Amino acid sequence: MATKKVTDKGVDATGDTKNLDKGVQPANLKTENLAPHTADATGELMTTNTGLKINDDQNSLKAGDRGPTLLEDFILREKITHFDHERIPERVVHARGSGAHGVFKVYESLAPVTKALFLNDTETETPVFVRFSTVAGSRGSTDLARDVRGFAVRFYTEEGNFDLVGNNMPVFFIQDAIKFPDLIHAVKPEPDNEIPQAASAHDTFWDFISLTPESAHMIMWVMSDRAIPRSYRMMEGFGVHTFRLVNAEGLSSFVKFHWKPLLGVHSVAWDEAQNISGKDPDFHRRDLWDAIDSGAFPEWELGVQIVPEEDEFKFEFDLLDPTKIIPEELVPVQRVGKMTLNRNPDNFFAETEQIAFHLGHVVPGIDFSNDPLLQGRLFSYTDTQLTRLGGPNFQEIPINRPIVPVHNNQRDGFMRQTINKGKTSYSPNAIGNNDPRQATAAEGGFVTYPERISASKVRARSKSFFDHFSQARLFLNSQSEPEKNHLTDALCFELGKVKTVAIRQRMLVFLAQIDKGLAAEVAYALGLHIPEKLDNELNQNIPADADPADYASLQVEGSLAKSDALSMVNTVKDSIQTRKVAILAADGVDENSLNTVKAAIEAAGGITEVIAPRLGFLTSANDEKIHVDESLLGAASVLFDAVYVPGGLNSVATLEADADAVHFLNEAFKHCKAIAAAEQAMQVIEATYFSKKIDNDEGVIISADAEKLATEFIDAIKQHRFWEREKPRKIPA
Ligand code: HDE
């Protein structure tokens, strides 16, 4: 095995030069730490695992060239045996994911609230590894499933690993970890026929939800467009639970963690998501990889909402309840640092698959709250990883190693890598000078926050967790009209796939408690009436001997009617960085019309692809050759953010008659995307069904002046989508 050189400039820590011309990141402590475990076969001879050089890797050893294979063939046996054992179990949830390396830096010291060094020192660049994921689907499932996205960040700090294992939604379906297996069994494919894959639109999921009122708030998020992001790079992240920060004086405050993407929060349309799932199931994975590979590094700001300990009971919801947010209007999100993802993994399995996150990986200055969901998670992660990674030594896998030394008395087990010296593996010991010794707090030893607790042991849910609907209503009321329509359509779609009418009916009662208008719209689409309240059936999530009345949801009128932070309409719309623009063209295209707009989009950070009836080169009106990136056969409008048709009489005539080109435009219009055409290309637009609807549409730009068109087109792409097109509700294509 050849290991790579570590240098401080020019070559990154893995010795990889492929990104050098793309502003490559210098080596950091984690890339240095990975380097000795990285192999590069460039220019090397092939060997067996014992280092024996292999002379023939094409043929097995046989008794005569037409004879049987010999058991003696250790080269064949080694190769096949390894292959036979290549697979490990996928994650029981969040199986489908993509990862990347990066760095984090805090803007200003957070020493007043936490002693965590990586949040104190503005000079320290902390290496990170991030894994984004969907929850329900298997490893090979589509990226665009309607689902929550995992947003797990590992900080390799100088005090050990800190994992912030969050999601792209700030709340969760359930309030107690003991319900997690039920939730996941309900959403996963049904156990008799393993259908459907990566989808919540089926009976068992909605059966469970309809009986679990605490899921109301999360259901609003999952039915919103947040569940179908445009890109991992355009999602918010949330730690979900309330955590605890502790400063050097031992003073504690509560904290909610946020990630705010600098590109804004954007989603695709549901019809589009379903199409992307067919055209490119790796859409998000590819998008993340390509962005980092091209040097367009994704960035997020870390946000914190800090609540002083004495304000714990100041809110109308319980800070420990993971189905509640702290509205940003009540406690503003302070942006305290920035994370940049700047390096793709070298090997998906070794890094993205083998990373083992755990929210119990903390550093001094960060501690837990008593959120019962958080408390259960503290058990689950290591437990599941013991099976997934095959034993107790998975912390020695390179991606899981901290950048600081590890010393303790844990020993042996399958696949132990470390060769621990000495006679002692116990503490206290005198033979070995009592090493390794415990660290004092001053030396950085972790000391649990001495929270005072005096209570009886009970299996119970706190009454302060019983308001299930007011924040669901807050979310709904904070959505713009198009967002509300999408949410309603999502519910109609999902419940429409549910076969059992009683489940649909229970869901209508459930929804009516959030909003009668919403329930009425869904009831209409399902061809049902909203039944009278089904009191005793609604909340089955109660102990066997309890009086259901004691567990009835509290109907609280939240004091906040609306929170702007909950609507994606209010997100950042100031850039077209990495937005993909399709340029439809054919032989005879007007070069100036094509190149002026292409150059302007690229100068603004967008990506263009020329799409033509066939691959190879186009011949422009001036006989110049123009490279074609995709043919109309392979391309699809759903893989782009916007589309442009340049002029050129012959090109325009070809496209007008090409059904795929016209469909491309129709579909882009349906999905509310920015569309531009040179005036000369008007006849292509006229071949679409929407040509009569473009007069007042700010997202359709037609001009004879290529420069003016480029400027207006770029402004339109920044808007992301023109949802107002969806009036009355749907657009044909
Ligand atoms: Fe997880 N979760 N989870 N979860 N979770 C796992 O751990 C679990 C929850 C989250 O990219 C598993 O290594 C329980 C909330 C992410 O590798 C498992 C409960 C949030 C990932 C597990 C929850 C998350 C996981 C499966 C209820 C957002 C993927 C594989 C108490 C704050 C991490 C693994 C990655 C993965 C358990 C609820 C986020 C089984 C018991 C809430 C991002 O241990």
Tens digits of residue pLDDT in 323-379: 999 999 999 999 999 999 999 999 999 999 999 999 999 999 999 999 999 999 999
374 CA from centroid of ligand 1 (Å): 10
For residue 151, the ligand 1 atom closest to its alpha carbon is 43
Shortest CA distance to 667 belongs to which of 696, 698, 632?
Answer: 632
- pLDDT for res 540: 64
Share of the chain above pLDDT 70, in %: 95
Name the band, by pLDDT with cuts 50, 70 and 90, for residue 541. confident
* Residues 6+ away with beta carbon under 8 Å from 58: none
335 marked among binding-site residues: no
Q: What is the mean pLDDT of residues 250-271?
A: 98
pLDDT per residue as tens digits for the range 84-122: 999 999 999 999 999 999 999 999 999 999 999 999 999
Whose CA is closest to atom 9 on ligand 1? 377
Q: What confidence tier does 543 reach under pLDDT thresholds 50, 70, 90?
A: confident
- CA-closest residue to ligand 1 atom 39: 166
Residue 181 Cα to ligand 1 midpoint, Å, equals: 11
Q: 334-343 and 299-308: which strand pairing?
A: antiparallel
Domain boundaries, the chain: 1-44, 46-86, 97-190+236-283+292-400, 575-725
- C-alpha 199/C-alpha 189 separation (Å) is 8
Pull the structure tokens for residue 19.
């990104």
Residue 388 labeled ligand binder: yes
Q: How far apart are the first and last CA of the chain?
A: 55
How far does the centroid of ligand 1 lie from the alpha carbon of residue 362, in Å?
A: 16
Ligand 1 atom with minimal separation from the 95 CA: 30
User: What 3-state DSSP class applies to 525?
Assistant: helix
79 Cα to the center of ligand 1, angstroms: 35
pLDDT at 537: 56
**How buried is residue 681: exposed, middle or buried, by Cβ count under 10 Å (0-12/13-18/19+)?**
buried
- The residue whose CB lies within 8 Å of the most ligand 1 atoms, and thus the one to mutate among 91, 92, 93, 169, is 93
> What six digits make up the tokens of 676?
């531009």
The confidence score (pLDDT) of residue 8 equals 35
595 is catalytic: no
pLDDT tens digits, one per residue of 384-426: 999 999 999 999 999 999 999 999 999 999 999 999 999 999 9
Nearest of 395, 373, 370 to residue 382 by alpha carbon: 395
Residue 691's contacts (CB-CB under 8 Å, 6 or more residues apart) are 685
Identify the CATH number of the domain defined by range 97-190+236-283+292-400. 2.40.180.10
What mean pLDDT is predicted for residues 217-236? Answer: 98
Tell me if the bond preceding 482 is cis, omega within 30° of 0: no
91 is in an annotated binding site: yes
3-state secondary structure of 533: coil
574 exposed, middle or buried (CB, 10 Å; 0-12, 13-18, 19+)?
A: exposed
Q: Which of 128, 131, 165 to mutate to test the pocket of ligand 1 (most atoms within 8 A of CB)?
A: 165
Atom 19 in ligand 1: residue holding the nearest Cα: 377
| For the CA of 384, the nearest atom of ligand 1 | 44
Asked whether the beta carbons of 672 and 723 are under 8 A apart, the reply is yes
Residue 355 CA: nearest ligand 1 atom is: 17
Span 140-155, pLDDT tens digits? 999 999 999 999 999 9
Q: What is the mean pLDDT of residues 478-500?
A: 98
Residue 437 marked as a ligand binder: no
Q: Residue 7: is its pLDDT beyond 80?
A: no
Decide if pLDDT at 283 tops 70: yes
Atom number of ligand 1 nearest to Cα 380: 44
Q: Distance between CA 45 and CA 24 in Å, rounded?
A: 29
The CA dihedral of 571, 573, 575, 580, to the nearest 10 degrees, is 90
> Cβ distance 156 to 127 under 8 Å?
yes
- Show the ligand 1 pocket: residues with CB < 6 angstroms: 91-94, 97, 131, 133, 150, 152, 165-167, 172, 177, 180, 240, 356-357, 373, 376-377, 380-381, 384-385
Nearest to 480 by CA among 237, 260, 722, 171: 722
Q: Is 266 among the catalytic positions?
A: no
Tokens describing residue 347? 């090997």
Q: Is 131 annotated as a binding residue?
A: yes
113 near 253, Cβ under 8 Å? Answer: yes
Q: Which residue CA neighbors atom 3 of ligand 1 most closely?
A: 377
Out of 381, 385, 386, 387, give the residue to mutate to test ligand 1, the one with the largest number of ligand atoms within 8 Å of its CB.
381
> Ligand 1: distance of its center to the CA of 184 in Å?
11
Could you give the count of Cα atoms lying within 13 Å of 219 in the half-sphere of its Cβ? 33
Rounded Cα distance, 535 and 512, in Å: 13
| Distance from C-alpha of 68 to C-alpha of 78, rounded to nearest angstrom | 18
Closest-CA residue, ligand 1 atom 29, reads: 94
Q: How far apart are the CA of 418 and the centre of ligand 1, in A? A: 28
CB 671 within 8 A of CB 482: no
Among 185, 183, 187, smallest CA distance to 172 is for 183
- Mean pLDDT across the stretch 176-200? 98
When pLDDT is averaged across residues 153-176 and rounded to a whole number, the result is 98
Q: How far is the CA of 93 from the centre of ligand 1 (A)?
A: 7
Choose which CATH entry (2.40.30.10, 3.20.20.70, 3.10.350.10, 3.40.50.880) describes domain 575-725. 3.40.50.880
Which one of 259, 357, 373 would you pick to mutate in the ligand 1 pocket, going by the greatest count of ligand atoms within 8 A of its CB?
357
25-47 per-position pLDDT tens digit = 678 999 999 999 999 999 999 99
pLDDT band at residue 54 under the 50/70/90 scheme: very high
Residues 6+ apart with CB under 8 A from 241: 256, 322, 368, 369, 371, 373, 374
What is the bridge-based pairing of β-strands 607-612 and 580-584?
parallel
Name the active-site residue from 167, 342, 344, 485.
Answer: 167
The yes-or-no verdict on residue 580 having pLDDT over 80 is yes
Name the token pair of 665. Answer: 């435009």
CATH number of 46-86: 4.10.91.20
Q: DSSP labels for 428-495?
A: S-STTTTPSPPPPTTTT------------------GGG---SHHHHHHHHTS-HHHHHHHHHHHHHHH
Q: Whose CA is nearest to atom 7 of ligand 1?
A: 381
Whose alpha carbon is nearest atom 31 of ligand 1?
Answer: 177
Mean local confidence (pLDDT), 147-165:
98
Q: Is 377 annotated for ligand binding?
A: yes
Which of the four pLDDT bands, split at 50, 70 and 90, describes residue 558? confident
With a cut of 50, say whether residue 10 has pLDDT above it: no
Average pLDDT of the chain to the nearest whole number: 94
Closest ligand 1 atom to 92 CA: 26
Q: Whose CA is nearest to atom 12 of ligand 1?
A: 381
Which residue, judged by its Cα, is nearest atom 38 of ligand 1? 377
Residue 669: its pLDDT value, please? 97
Q: Write out pLDDT tens, residues 663-675.
A: 999 999 999 999 9
- Which residues, other chains included, contact 170 with Cβ-Cβ below 8 Å and sequence gap of 6+? 221, 236, 238, 240, 256, 258, 325
**What is the C-alpha to C-alpha distance for residues 218 and 175, in angstroms, rounded to an integer?**
11
> CB–CB of 504/528 below 8 Å?
yes
410: Cβ contacts below 8 Å, ≥ 6 apart: 392
CA–centroid distance, residue 336 to ligand 1 (Å): 25
* SS3 at position 624: coil
Amino acid making up residue 232: Y
User: What separation in Å is there between the alpha carbon of 381 and the centre of ligand 1?
Assistant: 7
Give the pLDDT band of residue 547 (cuts 50, 70, 90). confident
Q: How far apart (Å, rounded) are the C-alpha atoms in residues 638 and 635?
A: 9
Catalytic option among 28, 33, 94, 485: 94
Between the CA of 134 and the centroid of ligand 1 the distance, in Å, is 11
Q: Is residue 206 within 8 Å of residue 503, measured between CB atoms?
A: yes
Mean predicted confidence (pLDDT) in 1-22: 38
Residue 16: is its pLDDT beyond 50? no
Ligand 1 pocket mutation pick from 88, 92, 94 by most atoms within 8 angstroms of CB: 94
In this prediction, residue 5 carries a pLDDT of 34
Q: Which protein residue's CA is at the shortest distance from atom 8 of ligand 1?
A: 377
Task: List all residues 6 or more positions away from 627 whose beta carbon is below 8 Å from its beta carbon.
Answer: 610, 617
- What's the rounded mean pLDDT across residues 165-191? 98
